[in-house]
A and B are shown apart, each in its own frame.
Chain A
Amino acid sequence: MASDAKPPFRKLRGYAFDPALTLQLDMAPISTIVYKIPWEDAAAATINNQGIRPGPIGEYLEVIDYDPTVGKSYKPVDLNDPYILAQDGLDPSEGNPQFHQQMVYAVAMTTIKNFERALGRKILWADTWDRGTKKNVSRLRIYPHALREANAYYSPYKRALLFGYFSSSPADESIQMPASLIFTCLSHDIIAHETTHAILDGMHPNFNQPTNPDVLSFHEAFADIVALFQHFTFPEVLKNQIRKTRGDLAAQNLLGQLAQQFGSAIGNYGSLRDAIGEIDEKTKQWKPKEPNPDDYRTVMEPHARGSILVAAVFEAFINIYKSRVADLIRIASNGTGILTAGELPEDLVNRLADEAAKSADHVLQMCIRALDYCTPVDINFGDYLRAIITADVDLVNDDSRNYRLAFIDAFRRRGIYPKNIKTLSVESLQFKRNPSFGPKVQGMFLMISQFLKKFRNDIMDTKSRDEIYRITQQYIVGNEEQQGLHDQIVQQFDNQTEFENVTGLVLNRDWQKFGINESRSNKDYPAVLVHNLRLVSRVGPQGGQIHHIVVSLLQQAKVIVKNGEFIGVATNTKEKKRASTFMGGCTLIFDLNTLKLRYAISRPLLDTTKTKPEDRTLDKKRIEQQVRYEQDEIMMCVSDYSHYFGSGLTNGAQEPFAFLHRH
């Protein structure tokens, strides 16, 4: 009986925005909401690593409330305490660190669940090395009180979120703790934002290598998009505002204004949303900012550039919402489109809020799903648009509400065009599906597909994320009985021009001439990293099912660039030390229903216009662009802080996300 009655959710109260909004009278009724997160049983004392313990420490997260600035720890909250259980968690309070722990746990778990729902699998954090072998990091660590600064960041080195707190007003006596502290760990948007950085790092660890102006912006913008639309999936927070602006058909403006309010309470976090709109000086009304098609070409600073992407996605969302509520407005206005004076009927408010929440959820899911369709390195906004469209076409056959067009139009209006695409349409933006190969290569793909099917069968019913990780690694690396995916790819596709053409990676006998290192496992072959092997099981709104396997390959060439010109590859150790690293990669998506390669989405190392084996060269143009960006342009668009304290953003030993937020 008891096991059957296990609750689906654990309800935890928390701030809907951040504590500052509880002080605004009109927002007070919606300032707190109840987060519903998946239930985890109390930890059995005997079994480690299972269930939820004081901290909270659960399956995905470990909240450790050690405050290094005073060298003390705060008591951890026990979410299974009967009193706490009985009242949906602790009361929201700035003065109680245990509530802070509960808040970061609730919002981070909500974010994780949104990703898992969109991706159709369990998420894994970026793994680590332990004495020569790769090891899963089961839990993301969260330090709610780690810094005394208006900053919070994800540390890819510690697989941890560090939240800061700071004083909002100067102290009267400096040696005393200043009054009115602001805690970044109490803001829904900041927690969601930082958790997203961590999840994205687990999926695409190379997305913090700034090889073009979009890369740094993408991490920031994507994290902000998740925070924003996750916020909009709570209908409660929308109702109040929809009610207030009754009759105003431009309710979409209100959502834009609301989006900005969410972000503005604490420091820099709202800055990405400034591109959405502004208050008109004359009318004092908020109005959306007109997009400028030059922006994408001219704006380079990471935050400003990221805001272009945020604004594009937001505009798509607004148009989707508008189309979803058009009928409601017609019904409520007897077809006139003009609502009668007086307060909106409560039913209509509820329906509008539901539609807004639903639109937000769809946009959120589209944006997350697209991550599986991105190249593992050198992301740019144009390719991200292609990934969104392709992922959506795969899952949703009938785009009856024109979601895809809404996205394409919003990107187009900001000048974000994918390279080498002549016209913008749903068809042209999709990645090429089912590339065709000669019988030999086709046969190899069939073999690999079958191997991957076996992988799926092994992993499908595995609940434990540690176990999923272990099996995945085993399939990549192989064991005595079974050759791993890495060796299969490197050895079977050796000297297969067709494979090189589609991936843009170097897998021929002359690999040394391309500045590629030797493989660590077998010195006869070029180094290629299989850095992702992921199962995708999704069910679309029309019942369509997807069973895909996503594999990411990475390769790097050591290249020498002098005076802006690519003059050759580094061949010996000495040259390699001083050479630039040129990264290429390819995401292969296999369809387990057809046992075929469905997509090869690549950022080629090779110049793919030259298809004959004897003409092969590295992509000179991209090398030169990348080096110019890394050596020159990037310095024009970073903060003073980075100028003085960062020895170049590409220096791997620093906290990349801390720097972007620090000024």
Chain B
Amino acid sequence: MDKITHAEVRMYRMGTGDCFIIKMFKGTDNTFTMMIDCGTWKGSKEHLEPYIKNLKDYIREGRTAEPATIDLLVVTHEHLDHVSVFKSCKELFTADFVVKKIWMGWTENDAPTSADDPLGDQLKHWKEEYGQRKKALNVVADRLNSLMTDEKAAKKKSPLGLQPDFAVAVDRFAELHFSARGSEYIGGLAGMEVVKKEIATNNIAYVHPGQVISNPEGAEGIKFYVLGPPTSIDSIKAEGAPADEPGETFSHSQNNKRTDNDSFATAILNLTDPQLLSSILPFDESFLADETMSEYASESWRKIDYDWLNSAGSLALRMNSATNNLSVALAIEFADSGRVMLFPGDAEYGSWKSWHSIKWQAKDRFNDNKPLETKGLLNRTVFYKVAHHLSHNGSAKRLGVEMMTDPDLVAMATLDYDVISPGWTSTMPNRDLIADLLLRTKGRLIIMNEEGLSIDRTPEKQPLKDKILATRQQFMTSAESTAFHNAFSEGPGEEKLYYQYKVNAM
């Protein structure tokens, strides 16, 4: 049986967010097509439609099957920038578009049954905890918004103890998780609902780490290794390495302690859904005073009625990271050569770390047939979809990027400063990560949009674009340079709807 000879990885440039088509070929025959995510931070239907039309044309190209057919769709995680376009261009995805198989992470299973799902109980528990917090995030974002729009409050910010910018930032985090915002929590993102309810035809598989799927029909010679999402709740909650373990993550960010938001979430939910006093008080009711001391209000600038809402920031960050860690992370291997394409979604440190505890039921042919270790997959990675848009905790250092030692390594990152949540620009890109990737890839770092990116924050702002070109000149041999230029292509015209890179099986 023929085996896959190469793959074309196409990144659509809709704005910060992921949308990939990976076409696999046997010689010139495109026999397998997969799609990973379809989202962007923001964008009107008019703006997005050309991309999706191009996408559909592309998947039809060279295949006789009608309608446009995707053999495998992977939805990594439920964040706006990974699923939004399923909603905004819903018509294009629900007609003349067929998906044969869908993969989602084990936590996306809405109807788990303990009997046939070993993770059922854990899933149920996680969903409850996670769901309550999501709800709380929604409530607090709303509360902050209404406080800020109250004109009096907006003008006099100090008594509030809240910043208008802060409310906006929390709201953006909430938007990342919820589609229609309002006082009512309405469940998941609309894009996700479209996939689950309208695109799926009872063909969703919920994957969990350790699974190896070999030679799916049309993709003979390919092995999928499921790395994430982790099944341990602690791993899901770990966004960065402990501070006393330098070298684990990029940059010097300090997220060493996970703060617990339970008591905060309780108080927030109480705002819209009042509970029995005894169940939300930290003390016995008998300690309650009949009235607040007159001193409290005597100097109104010292009141603290709203300061506590600032904890919403931690809640939002925790939710954001946990959801990122729920990403389906895949290593796609050309089995004969062992070359790997790594698609980790937006996995953060906790997920990366958990990959290394997976007990693979496989041997590593490239390491004396010893039991396969995740390290081996990373060593052989030749294509890396950079997790979480080049942020500092999206790529583990020691347990991730530093294990990507293949000289052919190419990295592709979905960052675009023209379309991005403003709060993100401070952590994306991470300079240390960029510096490391540039060296490892010899400058073969393909970024969705380099405009506006610089390698430092000094006012001089050396453009990243220049740095990439300089690195390529400096480090690539002429043969590598030719190969890179042959493998790389971009969409026609000014718009350059996509960037594309050809990955050879050998």
Contacts and interface: CB of A to CB of B under 8 A. Distances in A.
Interface of A: 55, 57, 62, 64-70, 72-76, 95-98, 128, 141, 143, 145-151, 155, 157-160, 162, 164-171, 174-178, 181, 183, 267-268, 271, 274, 300-301, 303-304, 561-564, 628, 631-632, 635-641, 643-645, 647, 653-655, 658, 662-663
Contact of B288 (A75, A146, A165): A75
A73 B293 contact: yes
Contacts of B163: 647, 653-654
Nearest to B310: A658
B128 A149 contact: no
Contact of B260 (A55, A57, A168): A168
B150 interface: no
B371 to A, nearest CB: 27
A155 B264 contact: no
B275 to A, nearest CB: 6
A251 to B, nearest CB: 26
B426 to A, nearest CB: 4
B427 A271 contact: no
B274 to A, nearest CB: 10
Contact of A151 (B254, B259, B281, B282): B259
Interface string B231-263: 000000001100110000001111111011111
A68 B306 CA distance: 7
Interface string B278-298: 011111100111011101100
Contacts of A645: 165-166, 169-170, 313, 423
Given A96-B287, A653-B163, A174 B254 contact: no
B426 A143 contact: no
Interface residues of B, number: 77
A157 B289 contact: no
26 contacts: A70-B270, A73-B288, A73-B293, A149-B261, A155-B161, A158-B161, A158-B302, A160-B304, A168-B260, A170-B260, A178-B266, A267-B259, A268-B257, A271-B243, A274-B244, A300-B252, A301-B252, A563-B460, A564-B459, A564-B460, A631-B457, A644-B316, A644-B317, A644-B427, A663-B257, A663-B259
B158 A175 contact: no
Nearest to A643: B426
B128 A663 contact: no
A640 B394 CA distance: 13
A599 B267 CA distance: 54
Interface in B296-341: 296, 301-308, 310-311, 313-314, 316-317
Nearest to A176: B279
A638 to B, nearest CB: 8
Contacts of A168: 260
A513 to B, nearest CB: 24
Nearest to A100: B283
Given A141-B302, A148-B308, A176-B266, A301 B292 contact: no
B283 A68 contact: no
Given A55-B295, A74-B283, A644 B169 contact: yes
A181 B302 contact: no
A254 B293 CA distance: 45
A506 to B, nearest CB: 26
Contact of A174 (B266, B306, B426, B457): B266
B265 to A, nearest CB: 6
Interface of B: 128-129, 132-133, 157-158, 161, 163, 165-166, 169-170, 173, 239-240, 243-244, 251-257, 259-267, 269-270, 273, 275, 277, 279-284, 287-289, 291-293, 295-296, 301-308, 310-311, 313-314, 316-317, 393, 423-424, 426-427, 431, 456-460
List 3 tightest A-B contacts by C-beta distance, closest first. A174-B132, A148-B264, A69-B267
A645 B256 CA distance: 18
B253 A68 contact: no
Contacts of B307: 68, 146-147, 155, 162, 655
Contact of A639 (B244, B253, B280, B293): B253
Contacts of B158: 157, 653
A147 B293 contact: no
B179 to A, nearest CB: 21
Given A631-B459, A635-B457, A653-B158, A68 B257 contact: no
Contacts of B277: 70
Contacts of A65: 289
Contacts of B287: 74-75, 96-98
Of the listed residues B266, B267, B306, B314, the one surrounded by the most CB atoms of chain A closer than 10 A to its CB is B266
B267 A70 contact: yes
Nearest to A642: B426
Contacts of B170: 645
Nearest to B284: A95
Nearest to B129: A174
A628 B302 contact: no
Contacts of B270: 70
Contacts of A176: 266, 279
Given A96-B283, A170-B129, A76 B314 contact: no
Nearest to A157: B158
Of the listed residues A96, A146, A177, A563, the one surrounded by the most CB atoms of chain B closer than 10 A to its CB is A177
Given A271-B243, A564-B459, A162 B304 contact: yes
A149 B283 contact: no
A418 to B, nearest CB: 25
Contacts of B132: 174-175
B304 A66 contact: yes
Contacts of B239: 640
Given A68-B304, A170-B262, A176-B279, A74 B295 contact: no
Contact of B456 (A62, A146, A151, A632): A632
A158 B158 CA distance: 9
B448 to A, nearest CB: 21
Contacts of B314: 149, 641, 662-663
A136 to B, nearest CB: 12
B103 to A, nearest CB: 29
A631 B293 CA distance: 44
A165 B263 CA distance: 8
A174 B308 contact: no
B133 A72 contact: no
A144 B256 CA distance: 25
B308 to A, nearest CB: 5
Contacts of B308: 68-69, 146-149, 164
Contacts of B458: 563-564, 628, 631-632
A57 B302 CA distance: 15
B459 to A, nearest CB: 5
Given A159-B302, A645-B166, 6 more contacts: A55-B295, A64-B296, A68-B306, A70-B270, A268-B256, A662-B313
